[in-house]
């Protein structure tokens, strides 16, 4: 359903009455949610919004967001949870556990085949007696009960038994890694071992003596990273895996990203950054800046540098060990903020270290963003439908201005409305007159060509289309808005920079805020008003201008508020 990009039609914040209706719908759809959980999903006060979408198959749906993450979506008047919601409430849906190799097939667009379901013991008629055809269930992988996909059952529990666990069991609707997941914070699934779920949970393990499936406790499995190692270390039951290979092609498992591997990656990136990237003249340098700007630059392609997945858990602990090994010296700058004040580039471990060339990689990353192609559009309204419906257009259809002019020209010629005595005048029939004439112009029978087309288009809704390479075009109502920069004065004579309308040009506010935060080492945040806006600590207009023009290729004419940049002080000449 969401393997391909969907088209955003509208997005708005939920009003109080709409929130009450949503809470009632959620209670009806998910009876197990208590009042506390509902308040967490849809609080009375908070950043709750709804996005109207059109899927790549043309289906209209609604996605409900809380803060940055989509939590539920509605299709055909049915509510479904997203993986973000299931990570908070994993017991919400009936689970099926499968192998990591099977999930890679699901992420590639396959449905869940019954031989790929991990079972403990035989299947009896009562094993899945509570499951009906069409029920919404979840999928997790062996060793982690975090749901990674949801889908509709294609068989009832009795059908599954009678088929001897063969054939398609579930059609997948949404999964971790698809476009709906990408519309959120893109966070990774938490580790939920089997022994952390209560015994009476229907969405957890089952009693093997009754013939029901059970999830084995395994080591933490990371589905995101990949390397060339084989999967021989994964605990797999050879008899069980043989069945699901009949329905899925053989493929290497996703690798296990152990703490030892992450510790080694941290150390490698640290040493490379220390030897080649950081200069002594840059000292002192904040530890978080060192990590983001320097260490991450040496992270191999396809891997992610995450301190939380290492044995250190915190960057400060890792850097403390590096200080104990005489690589650096760290000193506190302020409460909770540390900085590196000394580097030992003559350390013995750095002498034979071969540092990979990251110049080309950094150059490619700078050119990742492509400004979307922007096309002015018009949306058909009820006012102009009497003319346009003859040409196959319905209310809500989109047209290029050139197509509107072509239709009017053809309509005038077909109905012989061109006034003979003047080539620039058009005779108005009752249909055209009802569209273009204003109040008090009932005695007007002719209009000039330019005036006719201008008045006709004014009765249509203005819109614009963004075409981003490799993605489905996005239609946005209203004229294209320029990016606006504003500097506001706050308490104690402090100033903040606010950047609005980034999304109008396809720029992700969260990514832009992160780029500014790293670039100028200041705090940033994204807040919601009529759209998402970026708030930056201090007057950062100069950096924002450079980022928009150089990194995001935004034409200067489409940025307003550059005059708020701080004025540079002129140096006094010698007397």
Examine the pLDDT at 433 and tell me if it is beyond 80: yes
Q: Which DSSP helix (H) or strand (E) runs through 403?
A: helix 401-414
Q: For position 80, what pLDDT does the model report?
A: 93
Mean pLDDT of 22-28: 86
pLDDT of residue 445: 85
- CATH class of segment(s) 373-467: mainly alpha
Main-chain dihedrals φ then ψ at residue 483, nearest 5 degrees: -70, 130
> What is residue 274's predicted lDDT score, i.e. its pLDDT?
87
Whether the per-residue pLDDT at 314 is higher than 80: the answer is yes
Res 211: pLDDT: 32
Report the pLDDT value the prediction gives residue 175, as an integer from 0 to 100: 92
Per-residue model confidence as pLDDT tens digits over 228-244? 333 333 333 333 334 44
How many CB atoms sit inside 10 A of residue 565's CB? 17
Answer whether 256-350 and 373-467 agree in fold.
no
How many other C-beta atoms lie within 10 A of the C-beta of residue 383?
16
Is the backbone peptide bond immediately before 95 cis, with ω within 30 degrees of 0? Answer: no
Higher pLDDT, 309 or 411: 411
Q: Of all helices (H) and strands (E), which one includes residue 112? A: strand 112-113
Domain spans of the chain, in order of start = 7-183, 256-350, 373-467, 481-564
* Cα 494 from Cα 97, distance rounded (Å): 54
What mean pLDDT comes out for the span 74-98? 90
pLDDT of residue 197: 38
pLDDT band at 22 (very low <50, low <70, confident <90, very high): confident
- Residue 517 to residue 538: CA distance in whole angstroms: 11
Q: What is the pLDDT of residue 419?
A: 66
Cβ–Cβ under 8 Å, residues 290 and 278: yes
Whether the pLDDT of residue 303 is over 60: the answer is yes
Rounded percentage of the chain residues whose pLDDT exceeds 70: 83
Q: What is the pLDDT of residue 570?
A: 55
Range 396-401 average pLDDT: 90
Give the Cβ contact number of residue 74 at 10 Å: 18
Q: For the stretch 182-218, what's the b/e string if a residue is b when 16 or more beta carbons lie within 10 angstroms of its beta carbon? A: ebbeeebbeebebeebeeeeebbbbeeeebbbebeeb
443 Ramachandran zone, left/alpha/beta (phi>0; psi -120 to 50): alpha
Classify domain 256-350 by CATH number. 1.10.10
pTM of the model: 0.39
| 483-500 residue pLDDT tens | 999 999 887 788 899 999
pLDDT of residue 471: 67
Mean of the per-residue pLDDT values of the chain:
79
Decide if 388 contacts 382 (C-beta within 8 A).
Answer: no
How much of the chain, in percent, has pLDDT values that exceed 90?
21
CATH of 7-183, one of 2.60.120.260, 3.10.400.20, 3.90.600.10, 3.30.70.20: 3.10.400.20
**How far is the C-alpha of 254 from the C-alpha of 222, rounded, in Å?**
7
Highest mean pLDDT among 153-162, 193-202, 346-355: 153-162
Helix (H) or strand (E) holding 88: helix 83-88
Domain 481-564 has CATH 3.30.780.10: yes
More confident site: 471 or 170: 170
């Amino acid at each position: 359903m969401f393997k391909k990009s969907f088209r955003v039609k509208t997005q708005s914040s939920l009003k109080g009455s709409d929130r009450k209706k949503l809470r009632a719908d959620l209670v009806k759809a998910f009876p197990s949610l208590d009042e506390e959980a509902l308040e967490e999903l849809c609080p009375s006060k908070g950043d709750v919004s709804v996005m109207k979408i059109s899927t790549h198959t043309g289906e209209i749906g609604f996605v409900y967001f809380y803060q940055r993450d989509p939590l539920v979506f509605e299709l055909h008047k049915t509510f479904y949870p997203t993986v973000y919601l299931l990570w908070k409430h994993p017991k919400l849906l009936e689970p099926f556990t499968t192998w990591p190799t099977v999930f890679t097939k699901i992420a590639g667009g396959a449905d869940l085949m019954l031989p790929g379901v991990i079972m403990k013991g035989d299947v009896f008629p009562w094993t899945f007696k509570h499951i009906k055809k069409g029920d919404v269930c979840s999928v997790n992988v062996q060793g982690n009960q975090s749901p990674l996909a949801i889908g509709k059952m294609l068989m009832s529990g009795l059908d599954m038994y009678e088929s001897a666990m063969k054939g398609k069991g579930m059609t997948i609707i949404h999964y971790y890694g698809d476009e709906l997941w990408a519309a959120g914070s893109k966070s990774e699934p938490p580790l939920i071992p089997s022994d952390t779920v209560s015994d009476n949970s229907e969405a957890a393990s089952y009693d093997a003596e009754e013939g029901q499936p059970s999830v084995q406790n395994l080591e933490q499995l990371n589905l995101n990273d990949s390397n060339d190692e084989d999967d021989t270390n994964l605990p797999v039951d050879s008899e069980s895996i043989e069945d699901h290979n009949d329905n899925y092609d053989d493929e290497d498992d996703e690798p296990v990203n152990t703490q030892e591997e992450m510790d080694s990656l941290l150390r490698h990136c640290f040493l490379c950054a220390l030897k080649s990237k950081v200069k002594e003249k840059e000292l002192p340098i904040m530890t978080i800046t060192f990590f983001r700007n320097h260490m991450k630059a040496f992270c191999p392609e396809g891997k992610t540098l995450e301190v939380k997945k290492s044995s250190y858990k915190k960057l400060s602990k890792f850097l403390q060990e590096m200080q104990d090994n005489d690589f650096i010296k760290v000193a506190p700058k302020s409460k909770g903020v540390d900085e590196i004040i000394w580097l030992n580039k003559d350390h013995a471990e750095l002498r034979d270290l071969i540092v990979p060339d990251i110049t080309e990689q950094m150059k490619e990353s700078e050119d990742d963003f492509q400004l979307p192609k922007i096309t002015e559009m018009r949306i058909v309204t009820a006012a102009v439908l009497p003319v346009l419906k003859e040409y196959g257009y319905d209310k809500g259809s989109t047209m290029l201005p050139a197509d509107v002019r072509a239709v009017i020209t053809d309509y005038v010629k077909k109905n012989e409305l061109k006034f003979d005595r003047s080539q620039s005048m058009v005779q108005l029939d009752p249909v055209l007159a009802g569209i273009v004439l204003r109040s008090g112009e009932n005695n007007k029978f002719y209009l000039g060509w330019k005036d006719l087309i201008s008045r006709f288009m004014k009765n249509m809704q203005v819109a614009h289309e963004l075409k981003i390479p490799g993605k489905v075009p996005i239609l946005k109502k209203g004229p294209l808005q320029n990016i606006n920069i504003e500097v506001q004065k706050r308490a104690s004579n402090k100033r903040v920079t606010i950047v609005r309308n980034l999304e109008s040009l396809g720029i992700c506010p969260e990514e832009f805020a992160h780029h500014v935060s790293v670039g100028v080492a200041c705090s940033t945040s994204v807040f919601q008003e009529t759209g998402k806006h970026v708030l930056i600590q201090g007057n950062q207009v100069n950096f924002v201008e450079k980022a928009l023009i150089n990194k995001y290729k935004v034409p200067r004419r489409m940025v307003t508020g550059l005059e708020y940049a701080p004025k540079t002080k002129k140096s006094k000449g010698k007397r």
